[in-house]
């Protein structure tokens, strides 16, 4: 008696007994053509709008000149060699990595704690708190940067409050000193993006199998032990996703550097993407060197994402 199921009958008839490929029926051909008809326009659009500009940027990174007067570099890797002696680029890379190392862990840990609190079934006004935490992520980057510039101005709200409570005797030039300017950018990033990650973690928490939590409770595990031993392992894929997204976003950060501090004082808060913009579009635009900078940023993002995937994804 044959043991073939309908599923195996659908999978197997690709070749006949002689080993030749079996011809598709007219209906199957129509379905295949319909699928390609939907797929090809999207693939062409992605290729034209994304991969072709990336290829053009790669070619451009091997050229030198000002404006549109570009020639092939001699040597060909001149723009990449130039970065090794570019003090501003090294400074912007240091700034960007500093934001990455400080801001991303604080943001993700805070988001994880807030999501766990918001997932508490006994929490009152749950919808209000969830909305309030997410609202900063929906505000325009330019708008919130301007608000932060006003709040942290010499005569802004923060200095007025600190003077009123007696913490300081003179106003602090928050955006004029390297340490405080970097602090303002980090605070802005935390305010803007923590709620964004809370939504991801909240969705992951609501998809956790409740029977695992009940089993941990029956085994005598307390809330903290349950959180670290049961909840966190089940949230690992979502945590990995947010780590990669946050890392990539911080490496490519532009708005906060440009709108909050203009890269000052003396480029000590400027990010790599901000420097890329300055090289490409400000003060004697150099598109070749700017394209080379963009590819270095791309390589850094790709390498960090690959490392995070290798370390974080332990699935068999």
CATH number at residue 247: 1.10.3720.10
49 falls within a domain? no
Percent of the chain with pLDDT over 70: 91
> Can you tell me whether residue 19 is helix, strand or coil?
coil
- Label residues 54-75 b or e (16+ Cβ within 10 Å = b): eeebeebbbbbeeeeebeebee
pLDDT bracket for residue 269 (50, 70, 90): very high
Q: What total of structural domains would you count in the chain?
A: 1
280's CB contacts (< 8 A; 6+ apart) are 286, 287, 290, 291
Please count the other Cβ atoms lying within 10 Å of the Cβ belonging to residue 104.
21
159 falls within a domain? yes
291 falls within a domain? yes
Q: Is the pLDDT of residue 151 over 50?
A: yes
Average predicted confidence (pLDDT) for the chain: 84
2 falls within a domain? no
Beta bridge partners of 72: 63
pLDDT digits (tens, 9 = 90+) for 58-92: 888 888 877 667 778 788 888 888 888 889 999 99
| pLDDT at site 313 | 67
Report in angstroms the alpha-carbon separations of 47 from 15, 42, 51, 299. 34, 9, 5, 20
40 falls within a domain? no
User: The domain containing residue 247 runs over which residues?
Assistant: 87-312
pLDDT digits (tens, 9 = 90+) for 252-263: 999 888 988 888
The stretch 9-27 carries a mean pLDDT of 57
Q: Is the pLDDT of residue 55 over 70?
A: yes
Q: Is the pLDDT of residue 304 over 70?
A: yes
Beta bridge partners of 21: 15
192 falls within a domain? yes
66 falls within a domain? no
Q: Is the pLDDT of residue 10 over 60?
A: no
* Token duo for residue 278: 């300055």
Distance, in Å, from the CA atom of 117 to the CA atom of 111, rounded to the nearest integer, reads 10
* Token duo for residue 225: 């032990």
pTM of the model: 0.80
287-312 and 272-281 helices cross at what angle (nearest 10)? Answer: 160
Distance, in Å, from the CA atom of 202 to the CA atom of 119, rounded to the nearest integer, reads 7
Beta bridge partners of 71: 64
The stretch 28-53 carries a mean pLDDT of 85
Report in angstroms the alpha-carbon separations of 12 from 2, 9, 46, 175. 14, 6, 34, 68
79 falls within a domain? no
Give me the half-sphere count of Cα atoms (radius 13 Å) on the Cβ side of residue 220: 0
Question: Following DSSP, what letter does each residue of 171-194 receive, concatenated?
Answer: ---TTTSHHHHHHHHHHHHHHHHH
Give me the half-sphere count of Cα atoms (radius 13 Å) on the Cβ side of residue 219: 12
In degrees, to the nearest 5, what angle opens at C-alpha 88 toward C-alphas 85 and 92?
Answer: 120
């Amino acid at each position: 008696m044959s043991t073939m199921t309908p599923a195996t009958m659908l999978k197997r008839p690709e070749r006949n007994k002689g080993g030749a490929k079996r011809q598709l029926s007219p209906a199957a051909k129509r379905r295949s053509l319909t699928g390609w008809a939907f797929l090809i326009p999207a693939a062409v659009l992605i290729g034209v709008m994304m991969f072709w500009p990336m290829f053009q940027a790669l070619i451009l990174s091997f050229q030198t000149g000002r404006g549109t007067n570009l020639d092939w570099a001699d040597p060909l890797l001149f723009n990449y060699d130039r970065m090794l002696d570019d003090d501003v680029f090294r400074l912007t890379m240091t700034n960007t990595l500093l934001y990455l190392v400080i801001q991303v862990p604080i943001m993700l840990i805070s988001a994880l704690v807030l999501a766990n609190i918001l997932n508490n079934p006994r929490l009152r006004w749950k919808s209000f708190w969830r909305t309030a935490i997410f609202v900063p992520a929906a505000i325009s980057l330019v708008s919130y940067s301007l608000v932060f510039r006003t709040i942290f101005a010499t005569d802004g709200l923060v200095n007025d409050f600190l003077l009123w409570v007696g913490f300081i005797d003179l106003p602090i030039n928050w955006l004029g000193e390297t340490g405080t300017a970097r602090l303002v950018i980090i605070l802005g990033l935390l305010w803007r993006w923590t709620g964004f990650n809370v939504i991801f973690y909240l969705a992951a928490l609501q998809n956790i199998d409740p029977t695992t939590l009940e089993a941990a409770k029956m085994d005598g595990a307390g809330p903290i032990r349950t959180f670290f031993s049961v909840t966190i392992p089940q949230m690992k894929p979502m945590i990995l996703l947010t780590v990669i997204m946050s890392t990539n976003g911080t490496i490519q950060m532009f708005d906060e550097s440009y709108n909050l501090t203009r890269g000052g004082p003396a480029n000590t808060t400027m990010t790599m993407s901000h420097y890329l913009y300055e090289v490409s579009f400000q003060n004697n635009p150099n598109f070749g060197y700017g394209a080379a900078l963009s590819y270095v940023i791309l390589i850094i993002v790709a390498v960090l994402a690959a490392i995070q995937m290798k370390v974080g994804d332990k699935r068999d």
